[in-house]
Amino acid sequence: MHVQGSAAISINRLYAIGRLVLPTIGGFLAALGLLAHAQAQSASADPAGKTKVRILAVGAPPLADEQLPDGGVVLALVNASLGRAGLGAASEISVKWTGSALTPQLLKDPSIDLSLPVESADCDNPNNLNHASAALCDSAFFSEPILQVVLSLFTSSNSSFKFDTDRSIFGKTVCLSRDHDLSALNGNGRNWVSMKRVIVVRRATLLDCVAAVQANDADTFVATDLEGTHLLRRLGLAPYFTLLARPLATGGIHAVVSRDHARGPDLIAALNTGLKKLKEGDTYASIVQKHLIAAVSAPAAGASAQRKPPPPPATAAAAPPLDAAPKAPATSAGPPPKVAAATALPAPAPPKAAAPAAPPPDRDSRERALKFVKRGSEELAEGRVAPARLLFERAAEMGLSQAAMALAATYDALELNQPHLRNVLPDPAEAKRWYERAQALGAAEADARLQRLGAR
C-alpha cells in the first residue's frame, strides 16, 4: 500500500508539472512561429539598407507574361512606379511566377509582398462577385488602377449578334471564365443575370469560353480587349472572331497586398505615389504603348516549334464560317481549327526586342482606338465623365492623338462649359498633361489649347 501511494503521488506530481510545463512549451513554440513570420515580413530590408519588394505574378498575357519583355505591361509599370516612389535603384525587386489564381492563402505567404495582376472588384456589391474576388475584398488592400482596361464581348465573325444597345444582348448566352464575376452584367442597374435577361455559362478558363462559342454553346464570351485579342491571335483564330465595337464595361488592373502584411499600407501607398509621378510625364504612356506593341509582335501559336498546330485556312477571306454542329474534322481549306477546352497554349518563342521609340498604332489598333473614342464621346454626351475618360485614356495609350485631345478636354474648364458638364470640376494640370501628350502624338490643335490654358 505504501508503494502504491507513493506511485500515485508521483503520478499526480507529473500531471501537475505537465499542466505547468506544456502551456509554457506551447507558448514558446507559438512565439517562435510569430518571430519567424515577422522575420519573413521584415525581409524587405537587408543589412545593406536596400529595400526588397517580392512580387507574385500570375501569368495573364499580355498583361503579365514571363515570356514578354519586363514580364509584360503591368509588371513594367509596377517596376517603374516603385522606382519613382524611391524603391528603384536602391531596391531589389524579385518576381515569382505562378499559373494559379490568387487566393487569400497565397497572399498570406510571408515570402510575398505584392501580388498582381488583379482586375477591379466591386467590393460594395458582394452578390455580384465570385468567391475569389469576394475573398480578396476581405483579405487584401488594392492599389490604384495600374492600367485601365476595356471589358469587351467577342463573338464568331459570322454571328448576327451586334451589341448596339443594352437590349440587344437580352436572350443571349454569355460565357464567363471562372475568374470573372458578374459585375459587368449586373452592375450599374443592369441586373441582366438576376432578372434572367441573359443566360450565363461558366467555364474554367477563357480558352474554354472560346471553345464554347465555337461549339455554339454560347453566343459571346467576355474578356478584356487585350487578353481576348491576344489569346485569339495565339490560337490562330483572330480572323474568325469579332471584338464587338461597343464596350461592355471599363475597369482597372491592380496590385494587391495582404491585410496581414506588416508593411501592406506602406507598400500600396508607395506604389500609388509612384504611379502618380509616372503619369506626370510621357513615361507611363510610352511604357504602355511599347509593351502592347511587343505583345502584338510576339510570335503566334503557329510560330512555336514545340507543338505543331492544326493547319491554318488558306486565307482569312476564303475561310467558310464556323459550322454549327455536327463538327467535321478541320482541313486546310475548311473551317478554322476547333479549340479543345483542355488544350494548353503552346509557349511563345522569346519575343523580339521592343523598338526604342513607339511607332504610331497599326491599322487594327487604330480602328479599335477609334471605336473607344466613339464610345467615349457617347458616354460624355450623356454626362458620364468617368467611363468616357477611361475609354479616351485607353485609346490614347494606343497612340491615338485625338483620344489624348478628347481626354484633355474633360479636364479643361472651357471645354467643360456645357450644360450637361458644368458640375464636372476642371483640373488644369491634367488638361496640360494630356494636351502635351496629344502634341507629342502629332495633334496640330494641341498647341493652341496649351497656349490658351497657359494664358488662363
Which pLDDT does position 297 carry in this prediction? 60
Question: At residue 45, does pLDDT exceed 60?
Answer: no
CA dist 383 and 420 (Å) reads: 6
Residue 16 lies in a domain: no
Q: Does residue 143 sit in the same domain as residue 256? A: yes
Determine the structural domain holding residue 398 and report its residue range: 363-455
What would the pLDDT profile of 1-34 be if each residue is shown by its tens digit?
444 444 444 545 544 545 554 455 455 444 444 4
In degrees and rounded to multiples of 5, residue 306 shows phi and psi of -80, -25
Average pLDDT in the 139-145 region?
Answer: 94
Q: Does residue 196 sit in the same domain as residue 136? A: no
Calculate ∠ Cα 446-388-134, nearest 5°.
135
- Top-confidence residue, 153 or 320: 153
Residue 112 lies in a domain: yes
Please give the share of the chain, as a percent, with pLDDT higher than 90: 35
Contacts of 131 (CB under 8 A, 6+ apart): none
Closest CA to 288 of 222, 387, 368, 354: 354
Closest CA to 140 of 105, 111, 165, 168: 105
pTM summary value: 0.68
Q: Does residue 95 sit in the same domain as residue 228? A: no
Q: Is 216 left (phi over 0), alpha (psi -120 to 50) or beta?
A: left
Q: Does residue 167 sit in the same domain as residue 258? A: no
CA dihedral 12, 15, 16, 20 (to 10 degrees): 170
Q: Does residue 158 sit in the same domain as residue 245? A: yes
Which pLDDT does position 118 carry in this prediction? 93
Question: At residue 168, does pLDDT exceed 60?
Answer: yes
Number of folded domains that form the chain: 3
Of 219, 235, 250, at which residue does a domain stop?
A: 250
Q: Does residue 444 sit in the same domain as residue 397? A: yes
Residues present in the chain in total: 456
Q: Does residue 261 sit in the same domain as residue 186? A: no
What the block records as the C-alpha cell of 213 is: 462559342
Banded pLDDT at 144 (limits 50, 70, 90): very high
Banded pLDDT at 375 (limits 50, 70, 90): confident
Of 220, 235, 250, at which residue does a domain stop?
A: 250
Instruction: Identify the DSSP state of 60.
Output: B
Please give the share of the chain, as a percent, with pLDDT higher than 70: 73
Banded pLDDT at 98 (limits 50, 70, 90): confident
Residue 110 lies in a domain: yes
Banded pLDDT at 417 (limits 50, 70, 90): confident
Which pLDDT does position 379 carry in this prediction? 82
Residue 125 lies in a domain: yes
Residue 94 lies in a domain: yes
Average pLDDT in the 128-142 region?
Answer: 90
Calculate the average pLDDT of the chain.
78
Contacts of 447 (CB under 8 A, 6+ apart): 439
Instruction: Identify the DSSP state of 72.
Output: S
CATH of the domain at 439: 1.25.40.10
- Bond prior to 428 in cis (omega within 30° of 0): no
In degrees and rounded to multiples of 5, residue 167 shows phi and psi of -65, -25
Q: Does residue 163 sit in the same domain as residue 277? A: no
Residue 415 lies in a domain: yes
Question: At residue 228, does pLDDT exceed 70?
Answer: yes
Banded pLDDT at 177 (limits 50, 70, 90): very high
N- to C-terminal Cα distance for the chain? Answer: 106
Closest CA to 369 of 404, 414, 411: 404
- Bond prior to 117 in cis (omega within 30° of 0): yes
What separation in angstroms does the CA of 40 have from each of 52, 104, 112?
11, 17, 9
CA dist 175 and 197 (Å) reads: 14
Of 213, 235, 250, at which residue does a domain stop?
A: 250
Residue 97 lies in a domain: yes
Banded pLDDT at 307 (limits 50, 70, 90): very low
Q: Report whether 294 contacts 286 (CB < 8 A).
A: no
Distance of CA 390 to the CA centre of its chain: 14
Average pLDDT in the 383-403 region?
Answer: 84
Indicate the range of 77-91, 166-180, 318-332, 376-390 predicted with least confidence.
318-332
- Top-confidence residue, 188 or 311: 188
Q: What are the helix (H) ranges across 279-397?
A: 283-297, 363-381, 385-397
Q: Does residue 133 sit in the same domain as residue 270? A: yes
Instruction: Identify the DSSP state of 162.
Output: -
Which pLDDT does position 157 carry in this prediction? 93
Which pLDDT does position 279 carry in this prediction? 86
Q: What are the helix (H) ranges across 83-141?
A: 104-107, 131-139
Indicate the range of 255-259, 270-274, 424-428 predicted with least confidence.
424-428
Handedness of CA 439, 441, 442, 446 (dihedral sign): negative
Residue 33 lies in a domain: no
Closest CA to 456 of 415, 402, 406, 396: 415
Banded pLDDT at 211 (limits 50, 70, 90): very high
Q: Report whether 120 contacts 251 (CB < 8 A).
A: yes
Q: Does residue 266 sit in the same domain as residue 232? A: no
Banded pLDDT at 167 (limits 50, 70, 90): very high
Question: At residue 48, does pLDDT exceed 70?
Answer: no
CATH of the domain at 188: 3.40.190.10
Q: Does residue 132 sit in the same domain as residue 180? A: no
Q: Does residue 418 sit in the same domain as residue 369? A: yes
